[in-house]
């Protein structure tokens, strides 16, 4: 008999169906509305867990469960009304005692443990379905140029020392670098050498009657390149930081000349997200000058000795550091938080690049027995209202987090201690690992898509899939009878496999992705329509039912393959050249094409062979 499958093919098909059902199942359980309670400095313990439970019970707010997860408290609820009520009341009560508490809306997967144990997880949902945060961030280009000029200032000093050029001072601001000379002849001689070395600058002369100056500023081409480089490095750094946060399928893309759009699906803790994304934290390693008495004198007089600068430690005590920087955070290639083996306090292990390691090695070799400080620097923006206008004011938070005596020659890898908490160590390691922002960024627009809106989008998307699915089922059952029912069964299996594959890949489903699923549902029966029409044609030519079934599948395969391959190529092009939502549509369409080929051709033929393959039949219900 021609229409028969070997037993192993039926076993393989049954295994595929079983795996598809298992890995698609987590999406049926949905997510529970939840509250995520965190503390900015400390990890939350059992005592605080008990406190939150008592608060919920005293306020008579019903909840499913309350547990500790990764140093935070996660409270699950039955509905969003309970969640929103708890967020308001619990947030007020906790922050009344400590403002460093953060209470954020969240969604927690409700997948049973037995499925989680099989690594069967639900699909990620995009910002439009799950909710999350949307930021529009603007790069402070003035600070970017200022920092570039500061780097050039240091290079110019080194160059002039190497060339034995006599000068008095080199200073920079946010627009230019000014080099002061004692004699006009010295200035003119130095200018010739500097112009030959620094061709990205425009040179000018100035004088005040006592000194002569060279004034350097970026030319137009260099200025534009600095701005482009600043925003590209910031985008790269933001991507690294988002990856460290563990956000699935974020959207980070440039908008205009100085803005960046950041979308974080599933993140409801906007405070935490802003702390990590907007922070421009970096480190500087400097040698300490003098003793405690010198520091106190400098603080009381308000004047630091030449070549030094006055800083403050975390306890507000003064410390004098040399202006010359040993290495900076730009030369850090790795950072990991942990605990000091001797003191048991939180620490961060730093790994430097080759240039940084070489300089650290030379400086520490020559200064064994002397103290070295670690300076933490962070730029922040504060929005204030001046004369009825909203203005953004930049402030720089500079703090010495560690002063330690150099015991040995340091090189590529070393530790810093003196941190207040494990969370501070983790956050510092995250920022250093992800890299420093080239320039500060300020959030000029912030939107939070709540779980309730995401739920509405999911319901509408689900309805569109169901309506399209049912319409196709009815048409196929009426028009192709028994064969139509077989096609409907394959279509159902196709939908299950599509969802299972998306879940295994942990792809992010968005509204355009749902559109791709709806289109796949309609296209999935195309192959069966071609096969069934070919079988009808063979029957009209007078062939036997068994021969018609065989010919229908064999002769229609080439046409089906061509049609699906061309559609798959179009989907791949969409994914390659599209962004965000378009890529989501392309992913679901591509996977849907592959699964529909499996179910519409091999799946339906297996069922047809099982029903008709071992029988002598005279007529087909098609």
- Give the start-to-end residue ranges of the domains of the chain: 7-26+450-612, 31-110, 142-223, 281-436
Of 152-156, 239-243, 522-526, the range with the highest mean pLDDT is 152-156
Mean pLDDT of the chain: 81
> For 358-373, how does the pLDDT look when each residue is reduced to its tens digit (9 = 90+)?
888 888 888 888 888 8
Domain 31-110 matching CATH 1.20.1290.10: the answer reads: no
Overall fold of domain 281-436 = Gyrase A; domain 2 (3.30.1360)
Residue 338: half-sphere exposure toward Cβ, Cα within 13 Å: 10
CATH class of 7-26+450-612: mainly alpha
Mean local confidence (pLDDT), 187-192: 91
pLDDT at res. 357: 86
Domain formed by 142-223, architecture:
2-Layer Sandwich (3.30)
C-alpha–C-alpha distance, residues 479 and 172, integer Å: 81
Of 44-53, 108-117, 193-202, the range with the highest mean pLDDT is 193-202
pLDDT at res. 86: 87
pLDDT at res. 386: 62
Least confident segment among 145-149, 221-225, 367-371, 397-401: 397-401
Length of the chain in terms of residues written? 622
pLDDT band at 265 (very low <50, low <70, confident <90, very high): confident
Mean local confidence (pLDDT), 571-594: 82
pLDDT at res. 312: 87
> What percent of the chain stands above pLDDT 90?
7
pLDDT at res. 232: 83
C-alpha–C-alpha distance, residues 122 and 458, integer Å: 14
pLDDT band at 80 (very low <50, low <70, confident <90, very high): confident
Strands (E), 187-258: 201-207, 212-218, 251-255
350: tokens are 């730093």
Mean local confidence (pLDDT), 538-558: 86
* SS3 assignment, position 316: coil
pLDDT band at 390 (very low <50, low <70, confident <90, very high): low
pLDDT at res. 2: 65
Interhelix angle for 220-245 vs 422-434, to 10°? 140
Would you say residue 486 has pLDDT above 80?
Answer: yes
pLDDT band at 350 (very low <50, low <70, confident <90, very high): confident
Give the number of other Cβ atoms within 10 Å of residue 224's Cβ. Answer: 12
Equal fold, 142-223 vs 281-436: yes
Would you say residue 540 has pLDDT above 70?
Answer: yes
C-alpha–C-alpha distance, residues 591 and 596, integer Å: 8
Mean local confidence (pLDDT), 257-267: 81
pLDDT at res. 391: 63
Residue 261 CA, distance from chain mean position = 12
Tokens 């010198």, located at residue: 294
Interhelix angle for 451-504 vs 511-524, to 10°? 50
Q: Are 263 and 134 in contact (CB under 8 A)?
A: yes
pLDDT band at 270 (very low <50, low <70, confident <90, very high): low
472, 524, 561, 597 from 490: Cα distances, Å = 12, 9, 17, 10
pLDDT at res. 111: 87
pLDDT at res. 500: 92
pLDDT at res. 545: 85
* SS3 assignment, position 512: helix
Mean local confidence (pLDDT), 162-176: 86
38, 51, 90, 596 from 97: Cα distances, Å = 14, 12, 11, 58
Q: Are 525 and 479 in contact (CB under 8 A)?
A: no
Would you say residue 262 has pLDDT above 80?
Answer: yes
Mean local confidence (pLDDT), 55-75: 85
Query: Which of 476, 490, 488 shows the shortest CA–CA distance to 600?
Result: 490
pLDDT at res. 21: 92
pLDDT at res. 419: 67
C-alpha–C-alpha distance, residues 541 and 241, integer Å: 67
C-alpha–C-alpha distance, residues 50 and 91, integer Å: 15
Query: Which of 378, 382, 417 shows the shortest CA–CA distance to 398?
Result: 378
What is the strand order of the sheet 72-76 is part of? 65-69, 72-76, 31-39, 101-109
Degrees to nearest 5, angle at CA 112 with 245 and 32? 60
306: tokens are 């030449």
| Residues forming beta bridges with residue 371, ordered by sequence position | 405
> What number of H helices and E strands is found in the chain?
19, 22
End-to-end CA distance of the chain: 21
| Residues forming beta bridges with residue 172, ordered by sequence position | 177
Give the number of other Cβ atoms within 10 Å of residue 341's Cβ. Answer: 8
Mean local confidence (pLDDT), 510-530: 81
pLDDT band at 15 (very low <50, low <70, confident <90, very high): very high
Q: 454 or 404: whose pLDDT is higher?
A: 404
Would you say residue 215 has pLDDT above 90?
Answer: yes
pLDDT at res. 179: 92
> For 285-328, how does the pLDDT look when each residue is reduced to its tens digit (9 = 90+)?
889 988 888 888 888 888 888 888 899 887 788 999 988 888 87
pLDDT band at 246 (very low <50, low <70, confident <90, very high): low
15, 51, 153, 215, 427 from 181: Cα distances, Å = 83, 67, 15, 11, 45
Tokens 């690992």, located at residue: 433
Backbone angles phi, psi at 263, to 5 degrees: -120, 130
Mean local confidence (pLDDT), 118-129: 79
Q: Are 486 and 608 in contact (CB under 8 A)?
A: yes
Cα radius of gyration rounded to whole Å, the chain:
33
Would you say residue 487 has pLDDT above 80?
Answer: yes
């Amino acid at each position: 008999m021609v229409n028969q499958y070997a037993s192993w093919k039926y076993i393989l098909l049954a295994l595929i169906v079983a795996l598809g059902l298992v890995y698609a199942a987590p999406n049926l359980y949905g997510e529970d509305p939840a509250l995520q309670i965190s503390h900015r400095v400390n990890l939350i313990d059992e005592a605080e867990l008990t406190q939150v439970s008592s608060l919920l019970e005293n306020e008579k707010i019903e909840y499913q469960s309350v547990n500790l997860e990764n140093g935070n408290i996660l409270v699950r609820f039955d509905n969003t009304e309970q969640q929103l009520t708890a967020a308001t009341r619990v947030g007020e009560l906790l922050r009344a005692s400590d403002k460093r508490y953060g209470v954020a809306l969240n969604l927690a997967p409700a997948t049973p443990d037995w499925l989680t144990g099989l690594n069967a997880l639900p699909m990620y949902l995009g910002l439009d379905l799950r909710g999350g945060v949307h930021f529009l961030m603007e790069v402070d280009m003035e600070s970017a140029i200022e920092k570039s000029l500061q780097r050039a200032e240091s290079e110019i000093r080194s160059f002039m020392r190497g060339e034995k050029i006599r000068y008095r001072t080199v200073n920079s601001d946010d627009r230019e670098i000014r080099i002061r000379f004692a004699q006009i002849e010295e200035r003119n001689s130095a200018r010739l050498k500097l112009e030959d070395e620094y061709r990205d600058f425009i040179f000018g002369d100035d004088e005040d009657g006592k000194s002569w100056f060279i004034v350097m500023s970026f030319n137009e081409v260099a200025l534009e390149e600095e701005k482009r480089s600043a925003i590209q490095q910031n985008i790269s750094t933001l991507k690294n930081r988002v990856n460290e946060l563990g956000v699935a399928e974020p959207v980070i893309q440039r908008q205009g000349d100085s803005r960046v759009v950041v979308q974080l699906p599933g993140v409801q803790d906007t405070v935490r997200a802003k702390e990590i994304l907007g922070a421009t934290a970096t480190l500087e390693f400097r040698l300490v000058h003098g003793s405690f008495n010198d520091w106190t004198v400098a603080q009381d007089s308000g004047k630091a000795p030449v070549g030094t600068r006055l800083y403050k430690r975390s306890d507000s005590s003064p410390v004098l550091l040399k202006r010359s920087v040993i290495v900076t955070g730009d030369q850090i290639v790795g950072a990991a938080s942990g605990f000091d083996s001797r003191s048991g306090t939180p620490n961060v292990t730093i790994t430097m690049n080759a240039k940084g390691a070489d300089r650290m090695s030379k400086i520490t070799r020559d200064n064994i027995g002397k103290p070295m400080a670690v300076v933490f620097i962070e730029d922040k923006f504060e929005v204030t209202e001046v004369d009825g206008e909203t203005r953004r004011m930049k402030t720089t938070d500079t703090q010495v987090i560690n002063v330690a005596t150099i015991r040995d020659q340091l090189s590529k890898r070393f530790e810093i201690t003196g941190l207040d908490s494990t969370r501070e160590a983790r956050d510092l390691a995250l920022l250093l690992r992800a890299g420093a922002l080239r320039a500060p960024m300020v959030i000029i627009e912030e939107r939070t898509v709540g779980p309730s809106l995401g739920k509405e989008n999911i319901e509408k998307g689900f309805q569109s899939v169901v309506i399209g699915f049912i319409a196709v089922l009815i048409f196929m059952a009426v028009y192709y009878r028994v064969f139509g029912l077989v096609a409907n069964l394959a279509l159902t299996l196709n939908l299950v496999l599509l969802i299972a594959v998306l879940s295994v890949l942990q792809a992010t489903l968005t509204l355009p992705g749902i559109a791709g699923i709806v289109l796949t549902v309609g296209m999935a029966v195309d192959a069966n329509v071609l096969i069934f029409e070919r079988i009808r044609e063979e029957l009209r030519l007078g062939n036997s039912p068994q021969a018609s079934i065989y010919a229908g599948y064999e002769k229609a395969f080439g046409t089906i393959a061509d049609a699906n391959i061309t559609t798959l190529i179009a989907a791949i092009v969409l994914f390659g050249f599209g962004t965000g939502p378009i890529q989501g549509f392309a992913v679901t369409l591509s996977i849907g094409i592959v699964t529909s080929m499996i179910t519409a051709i091999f799946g339906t033929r297996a069922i047809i062979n099982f029903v008709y393959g071992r029988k002598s039949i005279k007529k087909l219900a098609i």
